[in-house]
Amino acid sequence: MKISARVKSIAPSATLAVTNKANALKAQGVDVVGFGAGEPDFDTPDFIKEAAKKALDAGFTKYTPSAGTPELRKAIAEKFKKDNGIEYTPEQILVSCGAKHSIYNAVQTLVDPGDEVIFQAPYWVSYPEFVRAAGGTPVIIPAGVEQEFKMTADQVHEAITNKTTLCILNSPSNPTGAVYTKEELLAIMDVLSDHGVSVISDEIYEKLLYDGLEHVCVPALAPEYKESTILVNGVSKTYSMTGWRIGYLAGPKDVVAAMSRLQDHSTSNPTSISQRAALAALQGDQSIVQTMLKAFDERRRYMVGALNEIPGVRCPMPKGAFYVFPDVSGCYNKPLKGGKVVKTSFEMADYLLETARAAVVPGGAFGDDRCIRLSYATSLEQIKKGIERIAEALA
Ligand SMILES: Cc1ncc(COP(=O)(O)O)c(C=O)c1O
């Protein structure tokens, strides 16, 4: 059967590949420490589960409006107003099957074949594939460890051509945990708005910020940015609800209506029961966020300290999300344990899995081959064990 050129151009997910390899070893009885997780290791709070059970018992098991229930869209509009100081009407909101689906819908709606889409490396693995799936061309700005994993307004300016239509921003970031300041975002947005470039602002890690930092919501920075930006968020990371698959976006009414039409003919509504659970999450007790943050913060500090003690490893302190992204290139091209030499982040991830029984994700999958990504969404005990093993393997 013929596979379309668009779909052929999509790369497999490196994160899933790591999980598969680690699971295969675990199945053989090997004690592997997993640093691959892209989800909080906490359970979904009980009151959210209760809301889902109630929805089931009440027979709330049928189609809902494709863009999401009116109550949930209203609650999302209230969340944006309360947390981000930005006003949207419920018609400006689209609820989808996870923030991944929200961004997919947005890229499909905003990108034509031949359009150029700007974002930085390190980037979240799915961004280039979303763009390719729409026939667009990813234009990737290098933003390595030397510049704290953040692109500058000057770099954005240089990357813009007459084919640029869209830029994707992600702060706090996966995979680096980097957080842009308000000034940095204003400078970048000024350049984009001068050139009429639209923006997707992926703010899924909004609540996971350390050291007292406050979240900067991009479209809330100026009325003209609200007109040019699609704001993306969701319940996956904030309420430990990755499996429930609820994400959402907000933007200008006509654009959201177009995205909604796309959803009408692909998935229809996200699961009715999950929508009730997401409603409870947004309106209920928010204490899970503080509980997770406290644990993540302790693990973050331990992990960065321990990684920086390993010769050849340079690990900046992330300011958000639950990942560290150390530069391990100082350990490339020299003999490691058993005389093994690694030259890339992919070889390093394989080496660490085989030698240290630690599953990490190669930075190359995020556009930076000098680094590896480790998630600290796992217990401190596991983290200590895994880092000790990594230190030994890199000694
Ligand atoms: C940066 C970023 N955006 C979006 C998502 C999608 O989240 P979900 O589809 O689970 O809501 C993720 C998940 O890993 C992410 O890291």
**In this predicted model, what pLDDT tens digit does every residue of 92-130 receive, in sequence order?**
999 999 999 999 999 999 999 999 999 999 999 999 999
**14-18, 81-85, 198-202: which range is least confident on average?**
14-18
Q: Is the pLDDT of residue 209 over 80?
A: yes
The answer to whether residues 201 and 292 belong to one domain is no
Supply the pLDDT for residue 23: 87
Closest of 287, 278, 353, 365 to residue 323, by C-alpha: 365
Supply the pLDDT for residue 357: 96
Task: Work out the pLDDT band at 134, boundaries 50, 70, 90.
Answer: very high
Helix (H, G, I), strand (E, B) or coil at 92: helix
Q: Is the pLDDT of residue 10 over 90?
A: no
- Residues 146-182: tens digit of each pLDDT: 999 999 999 999 999 999 999 999 999 999 999 999 9
Please indicate, yes or no, if residue 254 is contained in any of the structural domains. yes
Domain of residue 74, CATH code = 3.40.640.10
Q: Find the angle CA(323)-CA(303)-CA(324) to the nearest 5 degrees.
A: 20
Q: What percent of the chain has pLDDT over 70?
A: 100
Atom number, ligand 1, closest to the C-alpha of residue 39: 14
Contact 207, 238 (CB under 8 A): yes
Residue nearest ligand 1's atom 12 by CA: 100
Closest of 337, 334, 316 to residue 325, by C-alpha: 316
CA distance 203 to 233: 5
CA distance 356 to 336: 12
Strand runs labelled E in the chain: 33-34, 93-96, 116-121, 137-142, 164-170, 198-202, 229-234, 247-250, 323-324, 358-359, 361-362, 372-375
Q: Is the pLDDT of residue 16 over 80?
A: no
Supply the pLDDT for residue 60: 98
Q: Please choose from 124, 176, 325 the residue to mutate so as to test ligand 1's pocket, defined by most ligand atoms within 8 A of CB.
A: 124
Task: Work out the pLDDT band at 279, boundaries 50, 70, 90.
Answer: very high
Mean pLDDT, the chain, as a whole number?
96
Q: Is the pLDDT of residue 368 over 80?
A: yes
Boundary residue ending a domain (283, 303, 323): 283
The residue segments making up the domain with residue 350 are: 5-43+287-394
The answer to whether residues 25 and 100 belong to one domain is no
Q: Which residues of 232-248 are buried (b: 16+ CB within 10 A; e: fewer)?
A: bbbbbbbbbbbebbbbb
Atom number, ligand 1, closest to the C-alpha of residue 103: 4
Strand runs labelled E in 122-260: 137-142, 164-170, 198-202, 229-234, 247-250
Q: Please choose from 237, 249, 325 the residue to mutate so as to test ligand 1's pocket, defined by most ligand atoms within 8 A of CB.
A: 237
Supply the pLDDT for residue 247: 98
Contact 267, 101 (CB under 8 A): yes
Closest of 182, 260, 163 to residue 225, by C-alpha: 182
Question: Phi, psi (5° rounding) for residue 146?
Answer: -60, -30
Cβ(247) – ligand 1 distance below 6 Å? yes
CA of 169 to the centre of ligand 1 (A): 13
Task: Work out the pLDDT band at 47, boundaries 50, 70, 90.
Answer: very high
Residue nearest ligand 1's atom 15 by CA: 174
The answer to whether residues 31 and 72 belong to one domain is no
Q: Is the pLDDT of residue 193 over 90?
A: yes
Mean pLDDT throughout 40-66? Answer: 97
Q: Is the pLDDT of residue 298 over 80?
A: yes
Positive or negative: CA dihedral 350, 353, 359, 360: negative
Boundary residue ending a domain (265, 283, 301): 283
Give the global pTM: 0.97
Cβ(170) – ligand 1 distance below 6 Å? yes
The answer to whether residues 270 and 294 belong to one domain is no
- Residue given tokens 């004690």 in the structure block: 31
Strands 164-170 and 198-202: parallel
CA of 86 to the centre of ligand 1 (A): 22
How many contiguous H segments (helices) and E segments (strands) does the chain have? Answer: 14, 12
Mean pLDDT throughout 344-354? Answer: 95
Boundary residue ending a domain (283, 313, 330): 283
Task: Work out the pLDDT band at 15, boundaries 50, 70, 90.
Answer: confident
Cβ(286) – ligand 1 distance below 6 Å? no
Question: Phi, psi (5° rounding) for residue 79?
Answer: -60, -45
The answer to whether residues 247 and 109 belong to one domain is yes
